[in-house]
Amino acid sequence: MLKINDLHASIEGNEILKGINLEIKPGEVHAIMGPNGSGKSTLSSVVAGREEYEVSKGTIDFEGEDLLDLDPEERAHKGIFLSFQYPIEIPGVSVTNFLKTAINETRKAKGEEAMPANIMLKKMREKMALLEMDKGFLSRSLNEGFSGGEKKRNEIFQMAMLEPKLAILDETDSGLDIDALRIVANGVNKLKSKDNAVLLITHYQRLLDYIVPDYVHVLYNGRIVKSGGKDLALQLEEKGYDWIKEEMAI
């Protein structure tokens, strides 16, 4: 589904990603862990198409298509979703209106008719129940005055509505208390299928207790320096990152 090959990317002249290789197949859950400043969020931004980052080398292939040629919205239309670490506030635009626009723009890009309002509403109710969200949520201004936990829950709600093929969850666990974490993780698990994939970006093992990854990768200084199964995350939790640095002699 996603194939990243020797990806180099920089911002304002500083190279952050220095040769990333990663392959994600349908049905898989991957986790990327790593210390602060290792390039985790840069990787998610580059895949989503944020323009400040300059890709100097390498390719990103998504279902046989070169993603780097596409605008961010075109990547979204192809089924790439990024749950933001810091979701953005848009005053005066309700959650409903935002989602309606997002869904219908995506459908338009695919040459489909707009989703009938009653079907959309039904779907919204269903997904809100899944994430144990309050009805009043829909008419609030997008992310404005939301608590940290509400913002993250809203990201996963949007993911549930947009049904992406590849969901990148950038530190979705930060700012969540343990109950909210359980609800959000439960939502993600229910949305998982053999046809879609999830890329989790996180500092901590605790999210991985709920969403169990097939693969764990350690990102350090712009490269994936170690990959393994879910046990790797436990090792990291226990020993920190230093042993990897030693092992890799970096």
Token digits for 157?
């709600």
Closest listed residue to residue 7, CA positions, set 80, 62, 60, 51: 60
User: Rounded to an integer, what distance in angstroms lies between the CA atom of residue 106 and that of residue 104?
Assistant: 5
> What are phi and psi for residue 196, nearest 5 degrees?
-115, 170
- Please state the closest distance from residue 82 (CB atom) to another protein, in A: 5
For another protein, give the closer residue by CB, 48 or 244: 48
For another protein, give the closer residue by CB, 59 or 139: 139
- Please state the closest distance from residue 22 (CB atom) to another protein, in A: 20
For another protein, give the closer residue by CB, 99 or 208: 99
User: Rounded to an integer, what distance in angstroms lies between the CA atom of residue 223 and that of residue 215?
Assistant: 16
Cβ neighbors of 83 (< 8 A, separation 6 or more) are 152, 155, 156, 158, 159, 167, 168, 169, 170, 172
Task: Give the end-to-end CA distance of the chain in Å, rounded to a whole number.
Answer: 31
Instruction: Return the ∠ at Cα 185 (arms to 183 and 187), rounded to 5°.
Output: 70
- Please state the closest distance from residue 102 (CB atom) to another protein, in A: 4
Residues in the site for another protein, rule: CB under 8 A?
Answer: 48-52, 71-73, 75-77, 81-82, 84, 87-88, 90-93, 97-98, 101-103, 105-106, 109, 141-142, 158, 162
For another protein, give the closer residue by CB, 23 or 71: 71
Token digits for 45?
């931004």
For another protein, give the closer residue by CB, 33 or 76: 76
- Please state the closest distance from residue 92 (CB atom) to another protein, in A: 3
- Please state the closest distance from residue 46 (CB atom) to another protein, in A: 12
